[in-house]
């Protein structure tokens, strides 16, 4: 039986309260960590009614919301990037297991350290953990996950993480645990679940001001108005007009210049996302071909009677061409990333 109540330590209120006390130079470090989008959060309340409804309709196996048999939508890394402006490329963060008796900082201690630490590696790691424990990956424990704390603070940790994928993975696992048993605590960022729903499904009678990023427009008052309008007009959730990557919203976000402005912005954003995804696949395919050719050349070299001098020269030419090709693809890929980031800003 699905629980009709839930508890969460996901708290944008606590996160923003701390950020508002940080000096400008430390906020610049937050932006350098690519967490700057979170500074634009404008809502602090978790609407339990919509979150419970979304969790009840969440298909853990397919990582999607099944509203009806014909109306469903996936929860993707790109969605996290759109809502929170977090990185959607990079390595998958694997959380190491640590003994339960290993000490780790409480959130109160983290807050004191973030206010007092000088800018440096220790401040960066402390902020990353604090962001995860309060917002991106909270648990049923008020101080967050011991294993995550040690993973972030271990030697050699690099902030080249795909944080969008991390948010999705943690949320899906939290929903899975919630739906399996009698636990009333939901791990993961259910604030994202709430924001993603109101951004993705529009109610035409509710005016949403044009903002960049999109989440800046969504105050607690506007979210309440949006959800109340859906209940008033349809009697339940799941009746908003959805959009997807191939059909961005024309009227969901508006400004004084007309309805097409939001359509153009989101159309360019999704086009850039699709181009990046397509280019990534193309790079992997071409590199696979190149590796296969070099492997074949090594086999031919070993089996042939060609002089070692000629073979070595030809191999160097082939290797140089492969490296040059990788460099050209890397430059083109970085330009696509820069294009996407500039449009998000």
Q: Kindly state the tokens that stand for 271.
A: 């086009």
Alpha helices in the chain (DSSP H): 12-19, 24-32, 48-56, 77-84, 107-116, 121-131, 146-153, 163-180, 190-200, 220-234, 260-303, 308-344
CA atoms within 13 A on the CB side of 276: 17
Q: Kindly state the tokens that stand for 157.
A: 């940790």
CA distance 123 to 20: 16
pLDDT value for 171: 96
Q: At 174, is the secondary structure helix, strand, or coil? A: helix
- Tens-of-pLDDT digits for all 345 residues of the chain? 455 688 999 999 999 999 999 999 999 999 999 999 999 999 999 999 999 999 999 999 999 999 988 888 889 999 999 899 999 999 999 988 877 766 778 899 999 999 999 999 999 999 999 999 999 999 999 888 888 988 998 888 899 999 999 999 999 999 999 998 767 899 999 999 999 999 988 898 998 887 777 888 999 999 999 999 999 999 999 888 775 544 444 434 444 444 444 445 555 665 565 566 555 556 656 666 666 677 666 677 666 655 555 555 655 665 666 566 555 555 555 555 555 545 545
Contacts of residue 308, defined as CB under 8 A and 6 or more positions apart, other chains included, come to: none
Phi and psi at residue 213, in whole multiples of 5°?
-75, 175
Q: What are the CA-CA distances from residue 68 to residues 235, 237, 239 (Å)? A: 16, 11, 10
Is the model's pTM score more than 0.85?
no
């Amino acid at each position: 039986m699905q629980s009709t109540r839930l508890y969460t330590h996901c708290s944008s209120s606590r996160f923003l309260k701390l950020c508002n006390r940080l000096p400008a130079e430390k906020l610049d470090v937050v932006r350098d960590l690519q967490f700057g989008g979170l500074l634009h959060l404008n809502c602090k309340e978790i609407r339990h009614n919509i979150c419970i409804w979304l969790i009840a309709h969440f298909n853990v196996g397919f990582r999607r919301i099944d509203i009806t048999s014909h109306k469903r939508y996936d929860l993707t890394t790109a969605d996290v990037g759109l809502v929170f402006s977090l990185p959607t490329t990079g390595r998958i963060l694997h959380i190491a297991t640590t003994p339960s008796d290993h000490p780790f900082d409480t959130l109160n201690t983290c807050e004191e350290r973030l206010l007092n630490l000088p800018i440096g590696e220790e401040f960066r790691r402390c902020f990353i953990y604090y962001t995860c424990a309060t917002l991106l990956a909270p648990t049923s424990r008020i101080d967050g996950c011991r294993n995550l704390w040690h993973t972030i603070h271990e030697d050699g940790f690099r902030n080249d993480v795909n944080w969008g994928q991390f948010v999705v993975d943690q949320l899906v696992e939290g929903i899975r645990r919630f739906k399996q048993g009698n636990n009333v605590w939901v791990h993961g960022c259910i604030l994202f679940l709430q924001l993603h729903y109101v951004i993705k499904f529009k109610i035409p009678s509710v005016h949403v001001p044009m903002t960049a990023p999109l989440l800046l427009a969504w105050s607690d008052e506007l979210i309440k108005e949006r959800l109340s309008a859906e209940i008033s007009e349809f009697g339940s959730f799941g009746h908003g007009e959805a959009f997807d990557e191939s059909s961005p919203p024309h009227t969901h976000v508006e400004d004084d210049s007309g309805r097409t402005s939001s359509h153009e912005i989101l159309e360019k954003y999704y086009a850039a996302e699709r181009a990046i995804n397509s280019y990534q696949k193309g790079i992997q395919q071409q590199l696979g071909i190149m590796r296969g050719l070099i492997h074949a050349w090594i086999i031919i070299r070993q089996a042939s009677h060609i002089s070692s001098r000629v073979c070595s020269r030809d191999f160097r030419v082939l290797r140089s061409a492969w490296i040059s090709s990788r460099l050209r693809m890397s430059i083109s890929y970085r330009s696509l990333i820069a294009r996407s980031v500039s449009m998000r800003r």
